[in-house]
Every structure is written in structure tokens, then in C-alpha cells.
């Protein structure tokens, strides 16, 4: 069965007005929870007419890109770079790179002090996005819901720190008992293109029924790395330098040193780690960051990758969904059978001699 064709919709970033729809070659796109997705590809320029259309539509920093597969929206983001390339045979192509809609929030700085006292953390997150969108020229049409987490926070974001909205969202989400965030792209029931801020406490979950993937079977290949380079069973975080006496030396705020005695007693060597939060001036906030970072660092990171054929239930909507992975091979003679959450996808559209595949990045529970 032939896969539906891919094409790129180039739109004005602010109004989302369609500028043009152009074919693309060598496209590669990915999307993640907790990391900005990326698109690369080449728009072929076979004649003067296409060249004129591409010049009008491909404006880095000003153009939004939607990826259509058939009639479905599979990805969306901001076009940031263009490299016009001509090969030895004279074939011309516009090589483009785009970042997911989240990438725009990392280009927006907080120029006005914002304060929240005992406000739900998801409302603080939405308020930061509102700040970005309520400035002249800043509205991208990002929508959101009204769900709350029940976790109240005190936050003061000073204009002097010149921190990006994206970084503030990351810091707010990364604290103990925090949340996950991303901006999803899809077409709604009325056919409109939608940019939707997804907030999940404590994590983003989608899909009501689990998908079963087998190897051998629909799973073409897999990679199962175990990385202990970031493991730490002892941790301390540093905050801002707080000093009311200008004549005295200035020292940063620090959390207590957190040590996992049970881990060391079980035979692990002492492994130290640290993190810096140079804008955090509250001790309680810093300690909440330290606990979250320490908890994340104590277990060696495992992000398995499985490659599957695209289609059916395997779409970008799978981000946040649970799959059941079953593997039987020499390493798993008694068969691995476990549930995992999909936290990333990397899609390779079909090319000559290559099927349409996707890599799923999984979170080990």
C-alpha cells in the first residue's frame, strides 16, 4: 500500500495565512516531550516558477511550517534557516531547518517582572505563554486548556534576569512534583490547523488503549542503551547569590547535600552531581529543584529506541501514549514483556528503495 504523500505548508508565522504548499525531498522530522522537535528537508527548485514561489514563501524567522501527510497535520514549527544549494549537475534545492513551535518561546525574553503567589503551577505556565503572546507581534495563536495540577507555587520572575520564556517553563516544570509541557500540532474536526499547549501533571499521557509491538514482528530493530554517565547518588544544587551586605563576600544559596545511603550500601560507588539555578532566591524552591534533580539522577538513564513501520496506530499522536513491547531474542530468552511510554518520535518518510518508518523513543518505567 502506497503511503500518503508528504508536503510542506508554508504560512505567515503570525497570521497562519497560507503562503504556499511545496513538495519536499529528504525530509526528516522528530517530536519529543521535554525537548524541541526539528525538521530538515530540501525543497527542489526545478524551474523559474518554483524558484519565485519559494522565494516568497521561505522566509526564515517569519514563516511557519506545517507538515501534511495526506490530509493530516503531523508536525508544525518555525522555519529558522535556509541554505540554497546547487550541486555539480546544476540541480538547485532550498535546504531548510525548522524547530517546533516551542523554539519560538526560547526566542522570547521576559522584559517585565512577573509575580505569582500560591498560584497553580499550570496557571503560571499558561501565564508565561500569555505574556509572550500578548506583546505586539508575539501572538502565534497557541491555544490551551484549563486543567490544573493542584500544586500551588510562589514565583517571582525579575525583568533584570532576561530569561527566555521557554527556559522559565522548563525550570518551573523541572521542580519536584512538577509537570511536562509541549506544543502539539494537529487539524481539528473543522479542518483548522491547531497549535495546542499540552500540560501534563506529573506527565503527559495520551491514548486510552495500549498498542502491542513485537520483535520479531512489527519492530524492525531496536537499540537499548544504558547510560550511567549521568548517574549521581549524592547531589547539591546552587541558587542565586543572596547578599544584603555589600561589604561582605557573596556566596550562592545552596541546598543540603542529598545522599542515597541505600544505594551506596547496595554496592554502588559514591557518585556526585550538582545543578545551578542562578535566578532562584528562595531556599524552599531551590531544595525542591535539588530533590527533583537527585531523584532523576539516581537511576541510570535508559531511553530505548525501536524502529517500526509507519502507519495505522503509529502516528505523531502517539506521543505520551503507552505501548506494550514484547521482545524475544538471545538477550531476552524468556521474552521481555513490559509497558513503556512514548516520549519521542523520529519519522523517516518513504524515499526510493526505503519504506516509511519511525523510531519511537521510550521511557522506562
223 in Cβ contact with 304 (< 8 Å): yes
* Residue-wise pLDDT tens digits, 314-355: 889 899 999 999 999 999 889 899 999 999 999 988 877 778
Q: Indicate if 155 and 172 belong to the same structural domain.
A: yes
At residue 340, φ and ψ (nearest 5 deg) are -140, 155
Asked whether residue 88 is assigned to any structural domain, the reply reads yes
Exposure on the CB side of residue 134, measured as CA atoms within 13 A: 9
Is the pLDDT at 248 greater than 80, yes or no?
A: no
Asked whether residue 1 is assigned to any structural domain, the reply reads no
Q: Looking at the whole model, is its pTM more than 0.85? A: yes
* Residue-wise pLDDT tens digits, 167-209: 999 999 999 999 999 999 999 999 999 999 999 999 999 876 7
Among residues 48, 77, 100, the one where a domain terminates is 100
* Residue-wise pLDDT tens digits, 107-118: 999 999 999 999
* Residue-wise pLDDT tens digits, 61-97: 999 999 998 889 999 999 999 999 998 888 999 999 9
Asked whether residue 218 is assigned to any structural domain, the reply reads yes
168 in Cβ contact with 115 (< 8 Å): no
Q: Indicate if 190 and 148 belong to the same structural domain.
A: yes
* Residue-wise pLDDT tens digits, 298-307: 987 788 999 9
Q: Indicate if 221 and 326 belong to the same structural domain.
A: yes
Note every long-range contact of 4-7, with CB atoms under 8 Å and residues 24 or more positions apart, other chains counting.
Answer: 4/69, 4/70, 4/72, 5/69, 5/70, 6/67, 6/68, 6/69, 6/349, 7/67, 7/68
- pLDDT for 208 equals 64
Q: Indicate if 148 and 19 belong to the same structural domain.
A: no
Give me 135's grid cell: 506583546
Q: Across all residues in the chain, what is the average pLDDT? A: 93
Q: Indicate if 192 and 251 belong to the same structural domain.
A: no
Amino acid at each position: 500500500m502506497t503511503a500518503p504523500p508528504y508536503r510542506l505548508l508554508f504560512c505567515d508565522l503570525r497570521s497562519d495565512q497560507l503562503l504556499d504548499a511545496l513538495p519536499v525531498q529528504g525530509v526528516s522530522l522528530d517530536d519529543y516531550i521535554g525537548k524541541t522537535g526539528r525538521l530538515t528537508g530540501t525543497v527542489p527548485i526545478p524551474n523559474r516558477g518554483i524558484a519565485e514561489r519559494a522565494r516568497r514563501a521561505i522566509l526564515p524567522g517569519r514563516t511557519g511550517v506545517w507538515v501534511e501527510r495526506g490530509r493530516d497535520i503531523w508536525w508544525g514549527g518555525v522555519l529558522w534557516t535556509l541554505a540554497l544549494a546547487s550541486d555539480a549537475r546544476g540541480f538547485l534545492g532550498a535546504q531548510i531547518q525548522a524547530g517546533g513551535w516551542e523554539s519560538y518561546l526560547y526566542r522570547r525574553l521576559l522584559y517585565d517582572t512577573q509575580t505569582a503567589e500560591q498560584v497553580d503551577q499550570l496557571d503560571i505556565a499558561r501565564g508565561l505563554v500569555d505574556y509572550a503572546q500578548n506583546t505586539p507581534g508575539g501572538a502565534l495563536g497557541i491555544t490551551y486548556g484549563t486543567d490544573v495540577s493542584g500544586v500551588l507555587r510562589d514565583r517571582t520572575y525579575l525583568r533584570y534576569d532576561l530569561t527566555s520564556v521557554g527556559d522559565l517553563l522548563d525550570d518551573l516544570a523541572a521542580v519536584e512534583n512538577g509537570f511536562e509541557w509541549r506544543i502539539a500540532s494537529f487539524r481539528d474536526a473543522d479542518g483548522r490547523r491547531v497549535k495546542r499547549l499540552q500540560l501534563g501533571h506529573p506527565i503527559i499521557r495520551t491514548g486510552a488503549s495500549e498498542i502491542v509491538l513485537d520483535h520479531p514482528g512489527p519492530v524492525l530493530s531496536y537499540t537499548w542503551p544504558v547510560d550511567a554517565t549521568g548517574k549521581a547518588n549524592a547531589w547539591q544544587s546552587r541558587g542565586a547569590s543572596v547578599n544584603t551586605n555589600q561589604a561582605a563576600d557573596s556566596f550562592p544559596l545552596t541546598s543540603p547535600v542529598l545522599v542515597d545511603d541505600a544505594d551506596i550500601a547496595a554496592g554502588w560507588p559514591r557518585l556526585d552531581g550538582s545543578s545551578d539555578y542562578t535566578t532562584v532566591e528562595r531556599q524552599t524552591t531551590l531544595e525542591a529543584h535539588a530533590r527533583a534533580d537527585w531523584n532523576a539522577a539516581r537511576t541510570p538513564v535508559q531511553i530505548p529506541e525501536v524502529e517500526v513501520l509507519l502507519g495505522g496506530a503509529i502516528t505523531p499522536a502517539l506521543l505520551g501514549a503507552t505501548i506494550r513491547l514484547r521482545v524475544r531474542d538471545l538477550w531476552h530468552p524468556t521474552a521481555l514483556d513490559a509497558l513503556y511510554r512514548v516520549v519521542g518520535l523520529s519519522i523517516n518518510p518513504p524515499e526510493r528503495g526505503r519504506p516509511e518508518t519511525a523510531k519511537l523513543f521510550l521511557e522506562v518505567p
